């Protein structure tokens, strides 16, 4: 299957505001126009080069920040996406924040408090490994707060993200879509590999049993909160290389559309000779 020339990855994998979402109809095995990693490796390399180029300009330009939200079920590849997509990008221009179970101090504040503090400043790409969406995902699935509390959060999140967007934060949200079977394989691989065992938690199996509840919660989060100013992208993620490829494509397309420019140099530099 090849992409028609006019179709961008943003259009292809982005969720149009107001569109109905049915995750069961989206193929996590999709690999677009490629049959294998081997076929894609040249394109991946070129894409990494482009990302490096745009990030260099974006950092120097210093006019906007880029917030990348990663959400997914366990093992879908939040960590791997960060490691592989950002490989080679200047670390000085990137922040990564992982949101865990809130600390007592975080619990003592509203749920967006810790989030807002971590939003990247101008020139920076900020990656959220989990995010405020946990407050309508794990929190909803486990009833950590009553329905009348979490159900109001979709609108609060949209307003918060709109506020950020109107203040020079460009937002991309990725849901890394894997199948239940693929998760089983990856959890087993973590158990079987001594170097990966540290990533396994018995709690992951409890969450896995709640798969359908999570899919319902993800569907609502994506459907209610994919907006013009902060779109959701559903990324086929059973194949790690294709996941990385699509995420990188969406980031590159977004940076390109911003058209970041190197700032004008000081005047009168032409005549200067450094001795």
Q: Which residues bind ligand AMP (CB under 6 A)?
A: 99-102, 130, 134-135, 138-139
Q: How far is the CB of 101 from ligand AMP (least distance, A)?
A: 4
Task: Measure the CA–CA gap between 222 and 214, rounded to whole angstroms.
Answer: 12
Q: How far is the CB of 106 from ligand AMP (least distance, A)?
A: 8
Task: Measure the CA–CA gap between 208 and 73, rounded to whole angstroms.
Answer: 8
**61 vs 211, beta carbon nearer ligand AMP:** 211
- Angle 96-164-110 from CA coordinates, rounded to 5°: 75
Task: Measure the CA–CA gap between 259 and 110, rounded to whole angstroms.
Answer: 36
**101 vs 275, beta carbon nearer ligand AMP:** 101
**183 vs 254, beta carbon nearer ligand AMP:** 183
Q: How far is the CB of 63 from ligand AMP (least distance, A)?
A: 31
Cβ–Cβ < 8 Å for 79, 127: no
Q: How far is the CB of 240 from ligand AMP (least distance, A)?
A: 17
Q: How far is the CB of 61 from ligand AMP (least distance, A)?
A: 32
Q: How far is the CB of 76 from ligand AMP (least distance, A)?
A: 11
Q: Which residue is nearest to ligand AMP (CB)?
A: 134
Q: How far is CA 167 from CA 57, 120, 160, 170, 252, in A?
A: 20, 12, 11, 9, 21
Give the residue among 236, 122, 220, 130 at the shortest CA–CA distance from 173: 130
Give the residue among 242, 125, 214 at the shortest CA–CA distance from 172: 125
Give, as one character, the DSSP assignment of residue 247: H
**134 vs 182, beta carbon nearer ligand AMP:** 134
**30 vs 135, beta carbon nearer ligand AMP:** 135
**51 vs 225, beta carbon nearer ligand AMP:** 225
**68 vs 170, beta carbon nearer ligand AMP:** 68
Q: How far is the CB of 86 from ligand AMP (least distance, A)?
A: 17
Q: Which helix (H) or strand (E) holds 129?
A: strand 125-129
Give the residue among 140, 153, 131 at the shortest CA–CA distance from 72: 131
Strand intervals (E) in 62-156? 65-72, 94-98, 125-129
Cβ–Cβ < 8 Å for 113, 105: no
């Amino acid at each position: 299957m090849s992409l028609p020339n006019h179709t961008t990855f943003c259009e292809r994998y982005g969720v149009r505001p107001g569109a109905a979402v049915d995750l069961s109809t989206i193929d996590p095995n999709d690999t677009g126009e490629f049959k294998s990693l081997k076929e894609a490796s040249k394109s991946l390399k070129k894409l990494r080069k482009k990302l490096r180029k745009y990030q260099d300009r974006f950092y120097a330009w210093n006019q906007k920040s880029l917030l990348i939200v990663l959400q997914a079920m366990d093992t879908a590849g939040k960590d791997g996406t960060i490691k592989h997509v950002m490989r080679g990008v200047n670390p000085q221009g990137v922040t990564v924040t992982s949101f865990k179970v809130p600390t007592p101090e975080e619990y003592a504040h509203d749920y967006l408090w810790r989030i807002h503090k971590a939003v990247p400043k101008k020139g920076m790409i900020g990656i959220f490994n989990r995010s405020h969406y946990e407050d309508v995902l794990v929190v909803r699935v486990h009833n950590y707060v009553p329905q009348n509390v979490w159900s109001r959060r979709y609108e609060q999140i949209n307003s918060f993200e709109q506020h950020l967007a109107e203040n020079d934060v460009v937002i991309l949200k990725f849901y890394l879509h894997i199948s239940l079977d693929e998760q089983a394989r990856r959890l087993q691989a973590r158990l079987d590999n001594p170097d990966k065992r540290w990533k396994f938690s018995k709690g992951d199996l409890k969450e896995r049993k709640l798969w359908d509840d999570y899919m319902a919660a993800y569907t609502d989060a994506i459907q209610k909160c994919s907006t013009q100013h902060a779109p959701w992208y559903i990324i086929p993620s059973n194949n790690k290389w294709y996941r990385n490829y699509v995420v990188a494509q969406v980031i590159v397309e977004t940076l390109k559309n911003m058209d970041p420019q190197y700032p004008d140099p000081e005047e009168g530099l032409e005549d200067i000779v450094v001795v």
